[in-house]
Amino acid sequence: MDNETEDSVLKVGDVVIYRDEHGVDHNALVTIVHGNTSQSCINVVYLSEDETKRDSNGRQIDRASSVQRKSEFTAHGRYFTV
């Protein structure tokens, strides 16, 4: 995302870094944006870290919903950065 800043509004299809509840970073694809401000929550999909979770389409995906921007969230994980 060229010239992306922490204040920019995301859109469906943007790529973000999602940090899960275990503190592991994932490249993630935005599937929905809840709201239209830079503080909006998003839903994302990302490849499962478990390489055994495969099917005929390849590695399965995991999902996270109502994910907040890191600057809005102080817990260990479950946030995104751009």
Break the chain into its structural domains and give their ranges. Answer: 15-81
Q: Can you give the pLDDT at residue 36? A: 81
| Rounded distance between C-alpha atoms, residue 6 and residue 10, angstroms | 10
Residue 81's DSSP bridge partners are 17
Q: Which two tokens stand for residue 30?
A: 């935005």
Distance CA 43, CA 63 (A): 7
State how far the alpha carbon of 45 is from the alpha carbons of 1, 3, 15, 28, 50, in Å: 17, 23, 10, 6, 14
- For the whole model, what pTM was predicted? 0.81
The per-residue pLDDT for 76 is 74
* Average pLDDT by stretches of 10, the chain with 82 residues: 59 95 94 85 95 93 93 76 89
